Amino acid sequence: MRVAAALTPTLGFLALGDSYTIGEGVAAAECWPRQLTARLRAQGVALGEPRIIANTGWTCAELISAIARSEPACAAPTYALVTLLIGVNDQYRDHPEADYAARWQALLKRAIALCTRGASGCLAISIPDWGSTPFATQDPRGPAAVSAAIDRYNAIAAQIARAHHVIFCDITQVSRQSAVARALVADGLHPDAAQYAAWVGQVLAPAAQRGLTGPGAANA
């Protein structure tokens, strides 16, 4: 009599964000959540296809509304890995940093609540530096001011993440590497598949492995 093989449980993955998370301008398989899934599967992690709640142009407030529409308020956590990358549109629209801090913290708390591992299974991801892109040269604030604002927003997020014992993934420095910074789609702003691969290989995959197998840490 043939004995059925045991099925390996599949770990849920939820990615929350904006255009950087959906991969504006790249094929669906090339966005970083799907590249991260493929990388982790190759390393033996039984990660399911990512559920992505993200859209181009979303601010923190818009992501909060989208999550509320997508998830019942009393839903039990079902995701072993939850990622949060949001804030570039708050910065682009010059939203007050205090407002950003309050909304980003609310989103992080929601991410933790949606994760079966709590804070240990969450990754907070920094905003990449679009001040390093050709698009920034058209902005009246200038590339240097944009980069400085990105740093301030990321410092706010990093502080909140540490307070909640969530791994903070700094992909901003990767986005500033000269070869990576040139890896953009035709709009001169959004990363191409190669830049997303650099984020995954250098920062996100190692951090996700830690988040899925051990206690949360402060930084990655």
Within a domain: residue 2?
Answer: no
Task: Look at the chain and report how many structural domains it folds into.
Answer: 1
Summarize pLDDT for 110-154 with one digit per residue, the tens.
999 999 999 999 999 999 999 999 999 999 999 999 999 999 999
DSSP, collapsed to helix, strand or coil, labels residue 205 as: helix
CB 48 within 8 A of CB 11: yes
Asked whether residue 125 is domain-assigned, the answer is yes
Q: Containing domain of residue 86, as a range? A: 13-213
Q: Are the C-beta atoms of 130 and 150 separated by less than 8 Å?
A: yes
Answer yes or no: is pLDDT of 207 > 50. yes
Instruction: For residue 208, tell me if it sits in a domain.
Output: yes
Between CA 128 and CA 93 the distance in angstroms is 16
Report yes or no on 130 lying in a domain: yes
In this structure, is residue 77 part of a structural domain? yes
Share of the chain above pLDDT 90, in %: 86
Please check whether residue 219 lies inside any domain of the structure.
no
Q: Would you say the pTM of this structure is higher than 0.95?
A: no
| CATH label of the domain that carries residue 182 | 3.40.50.1110
Q: Is residue 163 part of a domain?
A: yes
Half-sphere exposure (CA, 13 Å, Cβ side) for 178?
0
Looking at residue 4, its pLDDT comes to 42
Position 22 in a domain: yes
Question: Tens digit of pLDDT for each residue in 4-22?
Answer: 444 456 899 999 999 999 9
